Amino acid sequence: PDVIIEAQFDDNDAEHGQDHLQDTLTDDIKKLSLDTAEKGKAAGVTGVHRIKLDDGLKINDPRLLPDEFLQRTAKVVYILEKKHSRAATGFIKLLADRNSELFKRCAMFSPVDHRVPRVYVPLADCPPDFVTKPEAYSQMLFICRIMDWKEDSNFASGQLCKSLGQAGEIEPESEGILTEYGVDFSDFSPEVLECLPQNRPWVISPGELAKRRDLR
């Protein structure tokens, strides 16, 4: 009594997407219903079985479509480990809307790494003359640490940690990279230095030099 519908798909179906496939299935079922009804009338049959799909599936149910036409979706349910240090290197500038209340409280931090969101930072963290002379800091690198990022906001909120120096110079750029990746580049403690030979300056003996390749 049940009618099994087998739809044939070609490249044109793939180009038109899922909506086209659903329309195709609907049209095929309508045609099959009409053909079945006409054949039933011609044979003098008063009752024609309706097409039914198992498990209560509808024509536009995605479970009827082949796997190659489905886009898998998912959602994040838990963060196991925060890999990013939440620190970023970038520049600060004034907000565009000078009449807003936010302009009086915050500045915009633009990270060099475009994978990191732009951040609202308090004006209190900025240099004292930043509001009056923002152009003086247009090429100055800063370190900002992201503190929060609300779901309904396009921008995160954070705090300026320190000024690194002029962009393009080796030392500020290197310090920014090390800070972003959480590398501790502070001076060694006295306890660590005591483990080293104390008769400084250290020299390599001639016998040791003879065995080594000089890469200086």
pLDDT exceeds 60 at position 52:
no
- pLDDT at 205 (0 to 100): 86
Whether residue 89 contacts residue 73, with contact meaning beta carbons closer than 8 Å, is answered with: no
Per-residue pLDDT tens for 99-129?
888 998 999 999 999 999 999 999 999 999 9
Query: 134-162 in b/e burial notation, b at 16+ Cβ within 10 A?
Result: eeebeebbbbbebeeeeeeeeebbbebee
Per-residue pLDDT tens for 146-179?
999 998 999 999 999 989 999 989 999 999 999 9
CATH code of the domain in which 106 resides: 2.40.50.700
Is 158 part of any domain?
A: yes
Return d(Cα 148, Cα 158) in angstroms, integer.
7
Whether residue 117 contacts residue 156, with contact meaning beta carbons closer than 8 Å, is answered with: yes
Whether residue 165 contacts residue 172, with contact meaning beta carbons closer than 8 Å, is answered with: yes
Per-residue pLDDT tens for 191-216?
998 888 787 777 888 998 999 998 88
Most confident of 15-29, 51-65, 176-190: 176-190
Per-residue pLDDT tens for 127-139?
999 999 999 999 9
Is 136 part of any domain?
A: yes
How many domains does the structure of the chain reveal?
1
State the average pLDDT for the chain.
Answer: 80
Extract the tokens encoding 60. Answer: 């536009």
Is 176 part of any domain?
A: yes
Is 72 part of any domain?
A: no
Is 110 part of any domain?
A: yes
- pLDDT at 14 (0 to 100): 46
Is 191 part of any domain?
A: no
DSSP state at residue 44? T
Is 133 part of any domain?
A: yes
pLDDT exceeds 90 at position 13:
no
Is 155 part of any domain?
A: yes
Per-residue pLDDT tens for 56-113?
566 677 777 788 888 888 999 998 988 888 999 999 999 988 888 899 899 999 999 9
Q: How confident is the model at residue 48 (pLDDT cuts 50, 70, 90)?
A: very low
Average pLDDT, integer, range 8-27: 55
- Please give the residue range of the domain that contains residue 146: 87-181
Which residue type sits at 89?
T
Extract the tokens encoding 29. Answer: 């079922």
